[in-house]
Chain A
Amino acid sequence: MPISASVMQVDVELFGIPRARAGTSKTTAEGSCLGDVLADLARRFPALAEACIDGRSLRPSYTANLGGRRFVTAPETPLLEGETVLLLSVDAGG
């Protein structure tokens, strides 16, 4: 029986401009680190990629948060199975 490496999936929630560009508030993506997930999203949501993602990184006006707990930007940030990644604008001015 062949052994295949399982592909890790994470939940993604989008807010503000990322949501508007992706046209959805929630999706899933594949990857074991933030950069992998961003690259997967970029492939599937070209408008989101154009506005918010540069390769495997977020553009400067955007940030990511893991499960509401911790803001992260480094592409190599490891993700756990079942993690929720939030994508949002870095500017929270009201």
Chain B
Amino acid sequence: MSGENVKKATPGYHGRYLRIDVSSGSASPVARAVALPADFLRKYLGGSGLGTALLLAEGTATADPLSPAASLAFVFSPLVGSPLTTSAKFAVVGKSPLTERINDSLASSGFALAGKRTGHDALLLTGRAAELSIVVVDDDQVRIEPAGELAGLSTRETERRLRERLGPEFQTATIGPAGERLVRYATISHDGRHAGRGGSGAVLGAKNIKALVVRGTRRVEWADPPQLIALAKALSEKSFGPATAKYRELGTATNLLTFNRLNVLPTRNFQQGSFAGAAAIAPEQLSVARERTRSSCAACTIGCEHLYGVKQGGGSVRLEYENLFALGPLCAVDDPDVVLEASRRCDDLGIDTISAGGTIAFAMECVERGLIDEPWLRFGDGESMLRALDLIGAGEGLGRRLAEGSRRLAREIGQGSIEFAPQVKGLEIPGYDPRGLQTMALGFAVGTRGADHNRSGAYEVDFSDAVDRRSVGPESAVLAVETEDKAALMDSLIFCKFLRGVFVDFFAESAEILRAVTGWDVSAGELRQTAQRIVTAKKRFNIEAGWTPAEDTLPGRMLNESPSDDPRARLTHERLSALVEAYNTARGWTPEGWLPADDMARDAASPGLSLGAAGT
């Protein structure tokens, strides 16, 4: 395969993606470079946006996500490889086996840099290998190698072995045992970080691919290097300022005590909004008794990662708010050693901590109610939580049922348990109680990926004086749209969301950056439209996958009960419905959420991409 026939690419891009059919085996893997026209790239940019458009073109929306026909795209962005802080990121885009809707999960660091240097803006896998294998993309060379000896290995050990086998300059995105066993919330891991939500790891596992390994030497051009360097320098300087101090100095885990005080810390499967044991597992306490170190992704000046020493077995584990809440208060576990150990096991198995904690907490409540006959699994019993994680990883006993996620487990159990399964569209709810953060409730309900704090930043509205967070009205819908659009653009450019506070006018500043990268005469207004188009493309994917308006809601518990410790935090079905309708109207969709005939993303389903046009 060669790129000689490729028209000169837009700066920031290679102007093509690589489509790899892993079914063809090691003898003759089918890898075709597909041209990406500049106007198509300008409409969808990269990351989540480009990935969604590619998946629409592939017809993945109607495929079984665990079938060979379902494609999975590793997508880079125009900013990857630039000197811009936090730009070394990639998106993994596919159809979620957990939600059966669009899934775009992001991760960071060397894989993004090396992946883009292969000379492609995205690497798209389809098909299914006959045996457990790895895919190696080395510039234009693609090979599929058997990987039976990696079966059952942790994400960390797999990465170590592949570095040993191929050399340190190769970068690896790998699944753990959970991905091999098709746990529906399995992750794809790189360098200890995870494309975490929605089960991309199971999609890769279903293809019999243990890892995608990349190395490359091709660099893109920049349209205006001096301006790009100046903008990058200014952004880096701002990234050292107060807007990121929380992440840099304390990490996201410091949310725990704040959320606890505001009664929005999901506890005991969302029965409470505060946790008596919060102080014991808060980072302020953890750092007193344990070694704490900091780390950062490649090309990042924030350095938000805080790693805590683990007593059992030594080493350290990254601690974020989400794994802390899900493996702590949500399961009523207040033993810091257990929470840290549980986080490490999730990392090694390659499973999403939020979905793991959410599903286990749901099962704990089912045990309390006599709906599951596993009396050993109890709220507050850390050892039982660890045992449940082990069973999920091993695919044994109750673990097989937990591996399906809370929605499927509730459907299997019946007896009204779906009312307290902590999920939206099948994706377990992150650590923001929607009854006390009601703009966020709307963001969860309408989220194309399900309950998701990364695709909707609506909690920002609730943490402001713009609304009464426990009783928001339809006026908050416009604010929710704004945060969702910002997230769509950040996930497509791609920038880390922890940078958002440093931008004064995010769309205008992004336009200035994109002009320097690509040479396009792009404006803030155009980027607003681009963000809306990307959100619309995700909605279009979901509609093709079978979405109905009934999905855009919250579990019955959130609409019928308040947290026991905050009776004022009350949301009703009628009020949420009004919010959803206001949101749909603000988006220019029908009040029920259907797209108009002339929706902005209608071209994404038939973009005219010509397979093989860039040479094979």
Which residues in A have some Cβ–Cβ distance to B below 8 Å? 13, 15-17, 19-20, 51-52, 59-63, 65, 68, 70-74, 86, 88-94
Contacts and interface: CB of A to CB of B under 8 A. Distances in A.
B255 interface: yes
Given A17-B249, A92-B258, A71 B284 contact: no
B501 A68 contact: no
B249 A92 contact: no
Contacts of B262: 65, 68
B549 to A, nearest CB: 29
A91 B461 CA distance: 10
Given A63-B464, A71-B463, A71-B465, A15 B254 contact: yes
Given A61-B245, A89-B246, A94 B252 contact: yes
Contacts of A19: 284
Interface in B235-251: 242-243, 245-247, 249-250
Nearest to A62: B242
Q: Classify the secondary structure of B's interface with A.
A: helix
A65 to B, nearest CB: 7
Interface string B148-160: 0000000000000
Given A94-B252, A94-B322, A16 B258 contact: yes
Interface in B533-555: none
17 contacts: A16-B246, A20-B249, A20-B250, A59-B242, A60-B242, A63-B465, A68-B261, A72-B465, A74-B465, A88-B258, A89-B245, A89-B254, A91-B498, A93-B247, A93-B459, A94-B252, A94-B432
B337 interface: no
B258 A15 contact: yes
Interface of B: 242-243, 245-247, 249-250, 252, 254-255, 257-259, 261-263, 284, 320-322, 325, 430-432, 453, 457, 459-460, 463-465, 468-469, 497-498, 500-501
A54 to B, nearest CB: 11
Given A89-B246, A94-B252, A94-B430, A13 B261 contact: yes
Contacts of A52: 242
B501 A92 contact: no
Of the listed residues A15, A17, A20, A63, the one surrounded by the most CB atoms of chain B closer than 10 A to its CB is A15
A92 B460 contact: yes
B263 A68 contact: yes
Nearest to A15: B258
A92 B465 contact: no
A91 B243 contact: yes
Given A68-B261, A94-B321, A94-B322, A51 B245 contact: yes
A17 to B, nearest CB: 5
Contact of A70 (B257, B263, B284, B465): B465
Contacts of B246: 16-17, 61, 89, 91
A91 B51 CA distance: 28
A48 to B, nearest CB: 12
A3 B330 CA distance: 54
Contact of B464 (A13, A61, A90, A94): A90
A86 B325 CA distance: 21
Contact of A51 (B242, B250, B257): B242
A16 B465 contact: no
A18 to B, nearest CB: 10
